Structure 1
Amino acid sequence: MMRFEDILGHEQIKEYFKNALERHQVSHAYILTGEAGMGRKTLANAFAMALQCESGKADPCGECHSCRQFLSGNHPDVIYIRHEKAGSIGVDDVREQIINDVTIKPYSGPYKIYIVDQAELLTVQAQNALLKTIEEPPEYAVIFFLTTNSDSFLPTILSRCTVLKLKPLYDQVIKDYLKKQLKVPAHQADICTAFARGNLGKAIALSSSEEFAQMQEIVLNLLKHVPDMPVYEMVASLKEMKEANLNIKDCLDFMQLWFRDILMFKATMDTSLFIFKDEYKYIKEIADHSSFDGIEKILAALDKVKVRLDANVNFELAMELMLLVMKENIV
């Protein structure tokens, strides 16, 4: 099913779509913007299905001929734009699939709907070519641009579209979904949720990712044993991360979550605020051997190493300096 009520979060956008349906005030062009995995395509699909639904209600019925066609991926009046080149959506793509096609009336539904995924890949020329279609569309045409970056659009396109920005979901919503629907263990759901930062799609992917599990194992082994691990062993852990082709920025984000737990515990002594609830013993030990100033220096070093890596500073040197700060401030 693809009902609005089945979509987690994004209440304002869902309400906006429902009101548009009930009041018959459907725009001809929408830009749905947000991180990959946040639900842009799910929302666009739900709205498209509702627009074509024969029930005429704000939520698609899922049972009429139109809904069944949509759910099977065979609705003739819902078109997903393809593109030949991996890195761009060009003039020929939009001319063939939208501009020339939109003049043909819908085959069966009240609307003809075009869904452009990865719309940030639209070239300037393609956007200019679409401008007239967006300015003077047939009354039955609706175009969805799904993007991770609305700044990639020309001002002339932005001004003629309804822009809807997806917001991060509350952590508890994501935790509950992982634990109840996907049966992810509670401690792992906490870690995936914290790492996803409100992005349900990312949290789901992390919960079953072998690479993420491998990263946890390697990075946690390093973090838990900082007080008694010689520097050469810490450097060996860095080598292990690199050889495993782990995303180093993800590793650094993971480290920041760890030291966030230590800082929270040191400030409040409240274990319920932990992300790493299964690691109480190690978090307490490191908190006992650290000062507030020391933990803040470590967090600052983690921020600094990200900047250095973005500036293409030598990887080993930048990371080793960060480890030395970590070692010096956990005594």
Structure 2
Amino acid sequence: MTGFDGVVGHEEIISHLQNAIRLGKVSHAYIFGGEHGSGKKLLASLFAMTLQCQEHGIEPCMKCASCKKALNKNHPDIINITHEKPNSIGIDEIRDQLINDVGIKPYESPYKIYIVNDADKLTLQAQNALLKTIEEPPAYAVVMLLADNPDALLPTITSRCVILSLKPVGDRLVKDYLMDRMHIPDYQAEVQASFAQGNVGKAQQMANSAEFTELTENALRILKHSREMEVYELVDAIKIMSAEKQNIYDYLDLFTMWFRDVLLFKATKEVDNLVFKEEINYIKERASVSSYEGLEQIIDAIHMADSRLRANVNFDLVMELLFLTIREN
């Protein structure tokens, strides 16, 4: 783990946190909001480490006793709230680990820091119990609430916290990160960065996943041969591939990226901005046989298939309709 300088993107949030430390204006309560994998945990951990670092800088030094304990996850004054049930954090868990503990002074550091991951899963009773601590915290307490969906928190809580919303990171930065630090080849990094839509955690996961590489290859095979295969063959192919149902949405995202490339190439005749540059021959061929309206209809049909599957409409039926649209246009 490196300090803030190793984080991809989120410059505004980092500068806000570092200024708060520099000016001695650290708040008692923060909400880090952003989708799963966006970097909430990383930023909160780095902020906590920096606040406790014995060098008192605006980056964690990574070398002092405090930083080492934080890195080994056994710092007595950085408390990560745990919960038994995957979908809720109950009042007892918040009471035991935070409310009843916050009155005890820090063991060895300037602050006592509580990191509540999945804070949007706090029950109403747990949120109400936590409110009192956030309203009247001891001077040394800092509570960090990490939430994929900050709107699930009570307005009485959000109004008392500094809210830091993590925005998607630019594709270029994500691609550079995958190539420079994870040594992913250019072409794959391009696909993974586009697919991750600014979510570095998601990009990392894909870069480490042989399954995702295979999934991409399968999707491309279908797209390249969609014109000569019969609709039922296409449905069978996708059925075999998405035996694990959650993969089907990944396939649909890849289909969307492919047809956007075709549309972009048709309009500009340029290769530079395409995601699937290596497939330019197939993209060129598809662009020559499909009209602009046809390609837009296909992209709409992919979105429609996604919504229908999420609404539990019959899988075969949804995919048949989609492939018919792809074939007709």
**Could you tell me the TM-score, scaled by structure 1's length?**
0.96
Alignment of 1:36-75 (within 5 A): 36-75=36-75
Q: Deviations over 1:126-159 (max 9, x none)?
A: 0000111000000000011111000110111111
Higher mean alpha-carbon deviation, 276-285 vs 228-237, is at: 228-237
Give the residue type in structure 1 aligned to 2:289.
Answer: H
Deviation, 1:238, is 2.4
Q: Counterpart in 2 of 1:32?
A: 32
SS in 2 for 1:274: coil
Alignment of 1:289-304 (within 5 A): 289-304=289-304
Give the residue type in structure 2 aligned to 1:105.
Answer: K
Give distance in 1, aligned partners of 2:139 and 2:217: 56
**Contact 1:227/1:286, CA 8 A, preserved across alignment:** no
Give distance in 2, aligned partners of 1:92 and 1:257: 46
Give distance in 2, aligned partners of 1:40 and 1:244: 28
Q: Counterpart in 2 of 1:314?
A: 314
Q: Counterpart in 1 of 2:140?
A: 140
Give the residue type in structure 1 aligned to 2:155.
Answer: P
**Contact 2:77/2:108, CA 8 A, preserved across alignment:** yes
Q: Deviations over 1:49-68 (max 9, x none)?
A: 11111222111222222222
Q: Counterpart in 2 of 1:129?
A: 129
Deviation, 1:87, is 1.6
Give distance in 2, aligned partners of 1:166 and 1:316: 38
1:230 to 2:216 alignment: no
Give distance in 2, aligned partners of 1:24 and 1:69: 23
Higher mean alpha-carbon deviation, 223-232 vs 32-41, is at: 223-232
Q: Counterpart in 1 of 2:92?
A: 92
Deviation, 1:323, is 0.6
Alignment of 1:1-331 (within 5 A): 1-243=1-243, 245=245, 247-329=247-329
Deviation, 1:108, is 0.4
Q: Deviations over 1:180-230 (max 9, x none)?
A: 111111111011000000011101111121331232122111100122222
**Contact 1:79/1:113, CA 8 A, preserved across alignment:** yes
SS in 2 for 1:228: coil
SS in 2 for 1:113: strand
Q: 1:244 to 1:89 in 2, by over 3 A?
A: closer
Q: Deviations over 1:232-273 (max 9, x none)?
A: 321221222233545211111110000000000000000011
Q: 1:311 to 1:244 in 2, by over 3 A?
A: closer
Give the residue type in structure 2 aligned to 1:48.
Answer: A
Percent identity (aligned): 51
**Contact 1:28/1:142, CA 8 A, preserved across alignment:** yes
SS in 1 for 2:164: strand
Give distance in 2, aligned partners of 1:256 and 1:186: 21
Give the residue type in structure 1 aligned to 2:269.
Answer: M
Gaps of 5+ in 2: none
Deviation, 1:73, is 1.9
Give the residue type in structure 2 aligned to 1:266.
Answer: K
SS in 2 for 1:233: helix
**Contact 2:111/2:141, CA 8 A, preserved across alignment:** yes
SS in 2 for 1:226: coil
Give the alignment's Cα RMSD to 1 decimal.
1.2
Gaps of 5+ in 1: none
**Contact 1:116/1:146, CA 8 A, preserved across alignment:** yes
Give distance in 1, aligned partners of 2:72 and 2:232: 57
Give distance in 2, aligned partners of 1:292 and 1:308: 24
Give the residue type in structure 1 aligned to 2:134.
Answer: I
Higher mean alpha-carbon deviation, 209-218 vs 181-190, is at: 209-218
Higher mean alpha-carbon deviation, 306-315 vs 136-145, is at: 306-315
Deviation, 1:9, is 0.9
**Contact 2:232/2:320, CA 8 A, preserved across alignment:** no
**Contact 1:211/1:246, CA 8 A, preserved across alignment:** no
Give the residue type in structure 2 aligned to 1:290.
Answer: S
Q: Deviations over 1:64-116 (max 9, x none)?
A: 22222222222110001111222210000000000000000000000000001
Deviation, 1:288, is 1.0
**Contact 2:131/2:157, CA 8 A, preserved across alignment:** yes
**Contact 1:34/1:165, CA 8 A, preserved across alignment:** yes
**Contact 1:302/1:322, CA 8 A, preserved across alignment:** yes
User: Runs (4+) of structure 1 moved beyond 3 Å?
Assistant: none
What is the count of residue pairs matched by the alignment?
A: 329
